[in-house]
Amino acid sequence: MKNRIFPRIVVALLAVWLPALRAQEALEVVGGLRGMVDRYLTGLAKQCWERRAEAIARISTQEQVAERQAYVRSKVLEALGGFPEKTPLNARITGTLERDGYRIEKLIYESLPRFYVTANVYVPTRGTPPFPAVLGTAGHSASGKAYSNYQRVWISLARRGVLVLAYDPPGQGERQEYLDDVTGRPRFGPTGQHMMAGVQCFLTGTNFARYELWDGIRAVDYLLSRSDVDPQRIGVIGNSGGGTQTAYLQVVEPRLALAAPSCYITAWEKLWFEPGPQDAEQNFAGFLADGLDFADFLIAFAPKPLKVLTAIRDYFPIDGARAAYREARRIYEILGAAERVDFFEYDDGHGWSKPRREATYRWVQQWLNRKVEEGVEEEFPTEPEENLHCTPTGQVLTSLKGETVYSLNRAFAEKIYPERAATKVRDPASLRSMVRAVLGIGEPRQNIAAARYGEVGRDGYRIEKIALETEPGITVPALVFVPAAAKRPLRAILYVNSAGKAADAARGGDLEALAQAGFLAMAPDLRGWGESGPPPGKWEYSGVWRTVMRAMLVGRSLLGMQVFDLLGCLRYLSSRADVDQAQIGVLGKGNGGIVALIAAALEPRIARVALEGSVLSYMDIVRAPLHENLIDLLVAGVLRHFDLPDLAAAVAPRPLWLVAPRTPWGAAAPLDRAAAEYGALGRSLRVLARPEGWSFLKVYADWLK
C-alpha cells in the first residue's frame, strides 16, 4: 500500500513545484552572477594589499619603524572609536581556592561603572614575590576563563611562578549578555552574542573589541595595584579569540612586556575567501583601506618579546601566518632585536593544543621569569566551571544586573546622536553631499545601456529581461513590466525588493498590479540581491555577513553600492522613450526601502517614494535588545553623521509613504511613532498599515495618483 501512495504524493508535489520552478527559471536574466559582489570587492582589496606591500617595503630605518607604529596605533584607536575615561575599578575578591603550589582568587572589577568583569587570579604560593604576570585572554569558549584547556595554561604558569589574571570576555563565562527569560540559558553562543552587539557598535563608529580591550587595559591597572606583581614584567597570552585580543592589546597597551598570540595571526590576502571575515570584533572599518594587515599588530609591538603560535591545519591560514612573521622579523632586525621575535607551528588544527601551550610556557619563562626550560606540561586536574564562579549565580546579569555591551553602546549612541552632523546641515544640497560622502556614492554613468535577454509574455503586459552594467564588474539584472495598452509616455516605478526582483513577479503579485494599472515597473536585482546574492556562508557567518564585512574592510558599504546601482537604474529608466521622466517613483520593500529612501533623498528627479516593511531608523536598531536580517544596511559610524529620518528634509515636499514599518526584530512598528520620527515632511508624509489580504492597489492607489 505504501509503495502505491508514495508515487502519488511525489506526482502531486511535482504538480505544485514544477510550475513554480519554471516561473523562477523564466525570470532569471543573466545567470552566473553568484558571488559577483565578493569578486568586485576582491579587486578593491588587492589594490589595498599592493599599496601596503609597497609602504612596508620602504621601511628601512628605526625612525620609519616608529612612524609606522604610530600610524598603526592611531588607525586602530580610530576604528575602536577611542577609549572611555578611566573610572574606579572597585575590585574585590569574592572567594579563594587553595591548591598545590598556587591559589585561585575570584576577582570582580568594573572596567566601566557597573560593567562587571569576572576573573580568576592564579597566584603562585612558592617563590618570592613580586612575580611576573600575564593576562590570560579567553577564546570563543562558552565557559570563557574556565575552559579546561585554558585552565591548564593558567595553572601551569602559576606553578612556574607566574601570576595569571584570566578574565571572561563579554558574552562568555559569567558574562553572558543574552539570557533567555524562561530557561535562563544563553540565547546565542559567544560568536552570536558578539555579532548581535557588534553590529550595533559599528553603527556608532565603535567596535565590540573596544569593550574587550578596555577590560584588558583595566586588568593591567589592577595588576599594577598589587604588591605581588612586578610592573616591569607583565605579558599577554591567548588563543583564537584570545589571540585576537592579545594581538590588539599589543597595539593599544604600552605597559605590556611580552606577547604570545596563538591561532589568530595570518594575512588578509589568505583569509579573504577561506574562511573569510568572522566575528564582529575581528573586523575593523576601513582596515584594508587604511593599509593595514595582521602583521601590523606584530610590528606595533616591536622590539618587545613576541612569539606567534600557529597550527598548520588551522582555518587561520598558515601561509598568511608565515608571511606576517617574515614581515615582523624584518622590522625586529631593523631595530636590532631579531632574537626577541619567534614563530612556532605544529601540524594540527585550531586550538590551544598541548604543543602550543608548552611553547607558550617556554617563551614566558625565558623572557618574564628569566629561565630556560622545555616547558613540559604535567598532568593535573582542572576545576569544575562552577568552582571558579565569582558571582553567586554564576552570571553577572542575574547576580549583579550590570551593564552589557548593548546597554553601554546604546548609552553612547544617545550621547552622540544629538550632535550628529545632519543636525548642523542647513540645506538639502549640503545634506545630499554629506550622505554621498558617508556612503561613498559617486555619480552614475551618464549613459547606461541595457543588454536585452528576451521577454516573457503575460496577459495585458510583457516582461522585458535586461541587464545593466552600472560600473565595471557589476551587472544589475532587471525585469521591466511594460503594459500593452497604456498611453505613452508611461508613468514608471522603480520597484526594489531586498528579497530579489522575482519576489513579487508572479501572476497576481504587486508588480502585475502596477502593470495592469498602466505603470511601467522596473524590478532590479541590485548587487547582492537575487541573481548576484552571495554564496552560502560557513559556520555562524552568512554569505551576506561576509560580503558586508569585506565591503567595510575596504572602506565601502553594501548599502552605498546598492544606492549607486539604483541611481544607475534611474538613469536608464529616464533614457527610455516610453517613460515620462517627470513621473518616476521608487517603491522599496524590506531593506530595499532604505535603499529607496536614500536614493530619493539624493535624486530630486524621483517624484515619490514609498517604503514597505522597512525599519524606521538606525537608532531603532541600536536601541533594540535584538535585531535580525539587517546586516546589509550596515554603515560604519553612520550615527555620527545622519539617521534615516534626517533624509526626510531632502525628500520634502515630494510624497513619502511609510507602509507597515517594522521594528528591528521584525514586528510591526507603531504607526504613531513612525509619524513622529518623520514629522519633518509634514503633509507630504503618510504612514499606514497593510492589512493581510489587502491588494496592492487598495493600499497604494492614492500614492500612484
Condensed to tens digits (0 to 9), the pLDDT of residues 106-142 reads: 999 999 999 999 999 999 999 999 999 999 999 999 9
DSSP state of 617: -
Range name among 20-24, 71-75, 172-176, 303-307 with the lowest pLDDT average: 20-24
Q: For residues 491 and 498, is the Cβ–Cβ distance under 8 A?
A: no
Confidence of residue 200 (pLDDT cuts 50, 70, 90): very high
Q: What is the mean pLDDT of residues 327-338?
A: 98
Residue 295 and residue 364: Cα distance in Å, rounded?
A: 21
Residue 523 and residue 517: Cα distance in Å, rounded?
A: 16
DSSP state of 186: B
Q: Name the strand (E) or helix (H) holding 603.
A: none
DSSP state of 344: E
Query: Which residue matches cell numbers 559599528?
Result: 202
Q: What is the mean pLDDT of residues 301-326?
A: 98
pLDDT, position 446: 83
Indicate whether 261 pLDDT > 60. Answer: yes
Going from the C-alpha of 154 to that of each of 119, 129, 151, 357, the distances in angstroms are 12, 17, 5, 10
DSSP state string for 35-63: THHHHHHHHHHHHHHHHHHHHHHT--SHH
Instruction: Return the C-alpha cell found at 2.
Output: 505504501
Residue 587 and residue 658: Cα distance in Å, rounded?
A: 10
Instruction: Return the C-alpha cell found at 230.
Output: 612586578
Instruction: Return the C-alpha cell found at 534.
Output: 552571495
Within the chain, what is the greatest distance between any pair of CA atoms? 95
Instruction: Return the C-alpha cell found at 447.
Output: 549613459
Indicate whether 9 pLDDT > 60. Answer: no
Confidence of residue 25 (pLDDT cuts 50, 70, 90): very low
Instruction: Return the C-alpha cell found at 600.
Output: 530619493
In tens, the pLDDT along 671-694 reads 999 999 998 777 899 999 999 999
Instruction: Return the C-alpha cell found at 512.
Output: 502585475
Confidence of residue 18 (pLDDT cuts 50, 70, 90): very low
Tell which residue, 42, 288, 202, has the closest CA to residue 559: 202
Query: Which residue matches cell numbers 600575564?
Result: 134
Length of the chain, please? 705
3-class DSSP assignment, residue 260: strand
Break the chain down into helix, strand, coil percent, rounded to 5: 45, 20, 35
Strands 461-471 and 163-167: unpaired
Beta bridge partners of 463: 456, 481
Residue 632 and residue 561: Cα distance in Å, rounded?
A: 11
Average model confidence (pLDDT) across the chain: 94
pLDDT, position 137: 98
Instruction: Return the C-alpha cell found at 571.
Output: 538613469
Residue type for position 386: E
Give the angle 358-364-370 at the CA atoms, nearest 5°: 120
Indicate whether 21 pLDDT > 80. Answer: no
Instruction: Return the C-alpha cell found at 126.
Output: 612558592
Residue 607 and residue 587: Cα distance in Å, rounded?
A: 11
Q: Name the strand (E) or helix (H) holding 611.
A: strand 608-612
Q: Which domains does the chain have, with CATH numbers?
A: 63-415 (3.40.50.1820), 450-704 (3.40.50.1820)
Residue 246 and residue 509: Cα distance in Å, rounded?
A: 54
pLDDT, position 289: 98
pTM assigned to the model: 0.94
Confidence of residue 590 (pLDDT cuts 50, 70, 90): very high
Going from the C-alpha of 655 to that of each of 94, 209, 402, 649, 702, the distances in angstroms are 61, 42, 45, 12, 10
In tens, the pLDDT along 596-628 reads 999 999 999 999 999 999 999 999 999 999 999
Confidence of residue 518 (pLDDT cuts 50, 70, 90): very high
pLDDT, position 10: 44
State the burial class of residue 680 (Cβ atoms within 10 Å of its Cβ: 0-12, 13-18, 19+).
Answer: middle
